[in-house]
Amino acid sequence: MAPPQTETGLVPIAEAAKRLGKTVLNLLMHIKQGRLEGREVEGEWHVTEESLTRFAEQPHPARIQSHCGKGCGGGCREK
């Protein structure tokens, strides 16, 4: 079954989050950081199918690097 799309090439953000196993908030952060291409259509965010595919193929698309480089997201106490 094809994923729901409102415009050609656009996937509703809730569906994109489900497909990637992430939260809507996480995907909105990736849009803001330029890792995903998205836009708001009639008050609802959508992600382009192309950027969603590219994002899913990355080895660790959601890893946040901290100052120590261990990927803890800045929560560690090491300096």
Strand partners, 56: none
pLDDT at 72: 52
- How much is the average pLDDT of 38-61? 89
Q: Report the SS3 class of residue 47.
A: strand
Averaged pLDDT score across all residues of the chain: 79
Residue 3: CA atoms inside 13 Å, Cβ hemisphere, count? 21
- How much is the average pLDDT of 62-73? 51
Number of domains in the chain: 1
pLDDT at 69: 53
Q: How confident is the model at residue 3 (pLDDT cuts 50, 70, 90)?
A: very low
Q: Which of 79, 58, 59 is nearest to 68 (CA)?
A: 79
Structural domain including 30 reads 1-79
